[in-house]
Amino acid sequence: MTDSAAESWYLVYAKPRQEEIARENLERQGYAVYLPRATQSRRRAGRRLTVVEPLFPRYLFIRLNMGTDNWAPIRSTIGVSALVRFGAEPARVPDTLVALLRSHETGSGIHEWAQKPMRTGQGVRVADGVFAGYQGIFLARSSRERVVVLLDILGRPVRAQLIADQVDPLD
């Protein structure tokens, strides 16, 4: 067992889209690893899906003791590209940063982004869907996933109920 006071978090750079593989293989070797993940809304095959992806693509955190842990196997671990360094020194990450990231996770270890706050009367632009490109006025939130906006279509005001992720507030 290592002295936890001498341990610090360091940054690992993973191969493209292999963060989860790197995490699994590092943990299998006995390292303490943290891979923050978040829900993201993506458009695939014309449909909007919610997927779980790394919060910092290609990066994960590893807890190591500079004096006692064997660092050699890290670089040759499947999924790992390199240990991030600043010159000759490995990039040390403050414990407070990792604690802050963990404090914003749900019980399942996922960061869920808060929905964009919009207020009644605020200008919005439809970013996706049939009305993509149209600008309008935010009227109300009809449910957690849907909003009601007033769009100007062919010179007439039209109320439209859209998926909240399709609408972006104007600055």
**Would 79 be classed as within a structural domain?**
yes
Question: CA Rg, the chain, in Å?
Answer: 22
CA dihedral 53, 54, 57, 59 (to 10 degrees): -160
At 2 the pLDDT is: 46
Which pLDDT tens digit goes with each residue over 5-24?
Answer: 689 999 999 999 999 999 99
106 and 127 both lie in a single domain: no
- Residue found by looking up tokens 């010159």 in the block: 87
Domain that residue 165 falls in: 123-169
CATH number at residue 45: 3.30.70.940
State the pTM of this model: 0.67
Q: How many helices (H) and strands (E) does the chain have?
A: 3, 15
Which pLDDT tens digit goes with each residue over 68-93?
Answer: 888 889 999 999 999 999 998 899 99
CA dihedral 10, 15, 16, 20 (to 10 degrees): -70
